[in-house]
Structure formats: structure tokens, C-alpha cells
Chain A
Amino acid sequence: MQSYLWLGDEALAQAAIDAGLSGVFAYPGTPSTEITEYIQKSKLAAERGIHSKWSCNEKTAMEEAIGMSFAGKRAMVCMKHVGLNVAADAFINSAITGANGGLVVASADDPSMHSSQNEQDSRFYGQFAQIPYFEPSSQQEAYDLTLQAFDVSERHGVPVLIRLTTRMAHSRANVIRRVETPRDQNSLHLPADPRQFVLLPAIARRNYSRLLQKAPLFEQESEVSEFNQYVEGPDRRMGILACGIAINYIQEVYGEKGCPHSLLKIGRYPIPRKLVNRLVESCESVMVFEDGYPMVEELVRGLTSKGPHVRGRLDGTLPRDGELSPTCVAKALGFPAPETAKVPAEVVGRPPSMCRGCPHANTFEFIVEAVKSFPQARVFSDIGCYTLGALPPYEAINSCVDMGASITMAKGASDAGLHPSLAVIGDSTFAHSGLTGLLDVVSEKSPVTIVIGDNLITGMTGGQPSAAYQRLEQLVLGIGVEPQHLHVVVPLPVNHEVNVELLKKEMEYPGPSVIIARRACVRAAV
């Protein structure tokens, strides 16, 4: 069996192919993007006809995958953690419909918010949906547990969630590809019960109680899972509970000597209660290490003061937020900090910035100029490379909340009487979640001025195609924006004055208007 140097994302992707995947459905988002891109580039996947085109957003991706599962085939959905919020309605309900073909959802969290608006913990979604969920501690496990996840999904007829973190997703390590010839894809086979996916209350109640009946089974499988390991240690003053990659930092810190404490590593959930109990009962105290929220820690602690003595993120033993590191884990375990050099005082922060020649730069230049004439004006923006317009020298935007929120927030502010109210949104973000907001604006003829920064691509995540490509005007007009209030401009210094005047004029118009600022991303162009 061959060994590869794979990212966690890539190991997961290859395992999905090897598990007999028929389709991956996804919208890009750091740190999950490379899962889908790996499958898109895989010759093997192409030969096997595996679907791997990007979807408009995570919700459409999730629903397409449910449809593929309905048809009996193995499907995977990939997204960054906040994408699961977008897909949540479909995701939670897919636990009630259940799966026919294996259905695996991979959600990549971003503790420390390297490229995200928050550091929410996808494990809560696993708990919320009451399904089995996994969390690898190594790239090899990312491979191994993905293979298993499809089987678990089909065996129990439920979706299965895999939670990654940035560090796992974007770190490479030796991985043995255990399956040399991928499993055959499932043939088309429809659900035996024609009403399984019809969540009318009566059927939903029946399905839900079936899901609840499976809960003890899920937990039992966790107790004996190879991804949950209990290692006895001689020093009973403290036991260690480590979820996902936290185990690696503990092993790093203790080195060759090995950890003297009893150690429970968790990689499969629901939480194996018996194993946790064994640790708690055999040790005087427990220290919990987990990336993301202190989810397991909080449960072990319980609500009463009579619970076990637990240390972790909630009592300051570990930082409350941010990803774990060998340094903070060593400190928590009482190791003295090594003598190291300090960062010299000259070193200053270097935040990301727009590429030289970026079309958004010129777009912000004309927006900033036009807005100067309206001191009340506020610019609601969105998520993408153009969010960097918040930083100097532009400082041009007043919000960035979630995909699509620019248009809807501008509308809400305008409903409150703020005028002019502007929205700045990217083309891919518009296709993701801007369309419905624009329909709200049009329905109420709200005085909102929308600038779509159309760089013809999904820039922030590395230049994936944008679903709005070559259809943007059609979409905007189709939703009902008046043709005389739809403009396409080229954001270039030579057009600066004209663009400023046009935007000023539209800001004065008391109804919906859209200006498409179109020029290709310079990165994509090279």
C-alpha cells in the first residue's frame, strides 16, 4: 500500500472516492475547499464519473446530496463551519428523513478564526442532529474514518458528520491509502418506503422516534470504536480527555517518556459515556483538551457543584478561545516554558490586503468618493476579497456579517429610515445568498443601492467559478430591478469620475438600483 503526503482535506477526499462515492456537493470555504478540489482534479474520480461541480451555496449542496442519497448512491457534502449554518435546515431534517445511499457531511471548523467570522464548533450540529459524528486526530484517521463513515451511514440509515479543524484540514502527513481499488458505486436504488422522505408531521414523528431509538446503538458503537481509545496510566491524580488533534499535542509534550496519566482520546461521537465515566471514576481530576468550544468539558462538568473536578478551557487552565497549540497544552500540563527568543519590537502585524491591480480597489475608490457627498450614507458589505475594503486605505464598509447580509441589512437599515443605504457584494456571494434579499428589496421598492463587485470568479477561496458568471444582468433583471436602474461599469481609474457620478445619481434615486462593477480578478487572469 502506498504512502502519500496528504492534507487532512485530501485524505478525506481520497477516502470518499475509495468508499464508492458517486457525488460531492459543496460551496468553497476555507479550510474545506481542498476536499472538493481534490476530487475535481482526481483522474480516478473523473473515470468513475463522480459528480464534483460546485453548488450555489451550502444549502443547495446539502439538498443535492440528500437527493443523491435518496437515489441510493453515496454522496458527500463539504463546507466550512459557517456553511453548515446555511445548510442547517436541510441537514437537521436529513437526520429525520434518514439516508438511503451513504450520506456524509464534512464540516471544517476554523478555531482562531484564521479565515472566518467566528470559531463555532460543528460538533454541536452533530449533537443537535443526534447522529454519529467523527473527528480525526491524524490525516491517516481522516482517511480511515471517512471510509467508515459511509458504512455507518448506510448501516443505520442516517447522515454522518465529520468535523475537521483548520490544523487538520491544512496540514500534510504520511497517509497510507488502505483501499487500492475503490468500492463499486451503489446502483440506483430507491427507498423501500416511498414515504420515508415525506416529512409530514405524522411521518416525521414516526421517523423521529426511529432516530431516537437508534441513539443507544450510536453510543454503543462509540464505546467500542477504534477512534476512541482508553490508555491506562499509573498517575491517577489526573486523567486526560483529548478530542481530535488535541491528543497530538499531549504526546508531543510528554515525548518519548509517554504520558503518565490515564488518557481517553475521542474521535467518534456521540460521546462514549462509559469510557468517560471510567476515566472520571479512576482519577482524582480530569483535564479536557478539545479544539473549538468546551463542549465535552461542559458536559463532564455538569451543572451541579457535585460533579467531578474538571479542568480545561472553562477554568482558565487553557485559553477559553483559539486553537490549541503545543505551547498552551504544555503550560496546562505544568511544563515550564522553554527559554526562547522574543519577537523583536520592530516586527509589526501584516494583515492580508487586496492584490495590486485588484478590481475591487477601484470599486472602493469610486464608492468612497461618492459616499463623501452623503455623510449619513452607510455601506453594508459582505464576505469575499472585497471585505478587505474595511481596512485602510479604503475603510469603505460598515458591515460584514454572513454571506448575503449586505443587501438585506441595507434594506433593514433603509426600512429604519437610513438613507442612502448601500450594499456591496461579490458575484459569487450574490449567487450564494444575495438573490432572495434582492427580491425583498424589489418587492418593497426599497431605496437601496447595490454594487455587485463582479470579478467573474470566487476570489477569496482561490478562484473557483462563480455561479453568476455570464448571467448576472439576467438574474438582476429577472428579479425585477428596472432596466434603467441596472448599470454595468468597469472599475478602472480612467472611469473613476463617471462611476462616482453614476453612483451618486443612483443613491439619490428612491428605489432599488444595481451597479455591476465588472473587471476580472487579476489573480485569475494570470
Chain B
Amino acid sequence: MKQDIIIAGVGGQGLLTIAGVIGATALKAGLNVKQSEVHGMAQRGGAVVSHLRLSSQPIASDLAPEGSAHLLLSTEPMEALRYLPLLRQDAWLVSNKNPVQNISAYPSLEALWKRIGEWPHPMLLDADELARSADVRRASNVVMLGAASVFIPLSHERMKDEIRSIFDRKGSAIVEKNINAFDLGRAAALKIHGK
């Protein structure tokens, strides 16, 4: 088993939570993990990316080489496109369709959606809407994780256990809302994917 996952988005969107859940689940499944993160300046609303590499064999590089990633999970549409060179041709590109327009030169959203649609295996979701329906507006990242879980060879039930432990200290209501957000994302992806 070997999977390279690219997690992309804008600083402050909760990418480290996504990476943390997948990484911890993989660790408990006995896999080798390398997970490069972005801390620091870019977290102030800049472009951020995390390379998450899972394998039953030892992993050499912390960074996924170009053309190696099996999955791109993005919490923002323009950020999804920034990392296309890292993807294999048969990779899934799973992206939130809602933009973070914190720069003046933000391109046309339709053009971005179109570009994403041109990828061989695209999946665009309205994660913000799904998060709202789970009554946690800030949980778009968890929705996206639920959606991407369809393409990650790890138990989604175990991922949910990790979500529970991350949000545990915020109380059971928050935990359940986040679990719900995960389930909504996963269900939406399964529906689009036709599984």
C-alpha cells in the first residue's frame, strides 16, 4: 500500500486538522507516514499545502515528488489548481467549490471550476453548504475530509474516532456536529462517485 495525498487550501482553513486525522489513523493502522506541514507566515491567509504520504514500506522523502500524488484534497478551488503538477494522471481531485477571495487579483470563479472539471477525475463539492446544514459553519474542512475519505484506503470509522478525540475537549455537541459534517461530505462524495 502506498498513497500520496496533497492537502491544499488557505491558511486558517483547518488543513492541519485534516492532515492530523488522516495521519493519526494511518499510524494506528500500522502504516508509515510522512506529513509535511506549513506553520508560520503563510498561515496568515496565504496559500498552504500539506504533503501526506502513507505506505506499508519505509518512506524516503517528506515531500511528494511531482506526478506522484493519488489524491488532491483542497478546501479552496484556486488552491486545488496550484498543485496539479504533483498529481498522477489518474489522481482524484476533490475540491470545495467556495473561494477565499482575500486577494484583489482573484480570477473568475467559473474559469476555476471549469479547469477543475477538465481534470480526468474531478469532484467539486459545496462543502460550506454541507457544513451549514451540519450546523457547524467552520467545519468545511471536516466535510472535505469526509468526501476525500472515499478515496483514502483507511477505515473511515477510525477517522471518525480521531475526529472525536480532536474535538473531545469542546464537548459532545461539537463532536457530533463534526461527525455529522464528515458523514455529509462522505455521502455527497459517494453519491457523485456512484458507489
Contact = CB atoms under 8 A, between A and B. Distances in A.
A213 B42 CA distance: 46
Contacts of B106: 348
Contacts of B107: 346-348
A30 B62 contact: no
Given A347-B81, A353-B102, A460-B41, A249 B112 contact: no
Nearest to B80: A347
Given A173-B34, A337-B66, A343-B82, A30 B39 contact: yes
Interface stretch (A164-172, A195-203, A476-484, A488-496): A164-172
A460 B42 CA distance: 10
Interface stretch (A56-64, A323-331, A423-431): A323-331
Nearest to A256: B57
B153 interface: no
Contacts of A462: 39
B86 to A, nearest CB: 8
Contacts of B67: 338-340
B41 A173 contact: no
B25 to A, nearest CB: 10
A34 B86 CA distance: 28
Given A170-B36, A339-B67, A346-B115, A352 B84 contact: no
A338 B91 CA distance: 15
A227 B61 CA distance: 18
B35 to A, nearest CB: 4
B63 interface: yes
A253 B45 CA distance: 33
Interface string A344-358: 101111111111000
B163 interface: no
A13 to B, nearest CB: 14
Nearest to B119: A341
A325 B43 CA distance: 22
Given A114-B42, A339-B67, A350-B47, A252 B60 contact: yes
B121 to A, nearest CB: 12
Given A343-B85, A350-B47, A330 B65 contact: yes
Interface string A149-178: 000000000000000000110111110000
B45 A341 contact: no
Nearest to A339: B67
Contacts of B78: 346-348, 350
A30 B47 CA distance: 17
Contacts of B35: 5, 171-173
Contacts of B185: none
A507 interface: no
Contacts of A349: 47, 103
Nearest to B23: A5
A171 B81 contact: no
Interface of B: 10-12, 23-24, 27, 32-47, 59-68, 78-79, 81-82, 84-87, 89, 102-108, 111-112, 115, 119
Interface of A: 3-5, 7, 30-31, 33-34, 114-115, 167-168, 170-174, 245, 248-249, 251-253, 325-327, 330, 337-344, 346-355, 385, 388, 392, 460-462
Given A114-B40, A351-B46, A355-B44, 10 more contacts: A114-B41, A115-B40, A167-B36, A245-B62, A326-B63, A341-B85, A344-B81, A346-B115, A352-B46, A353-B45
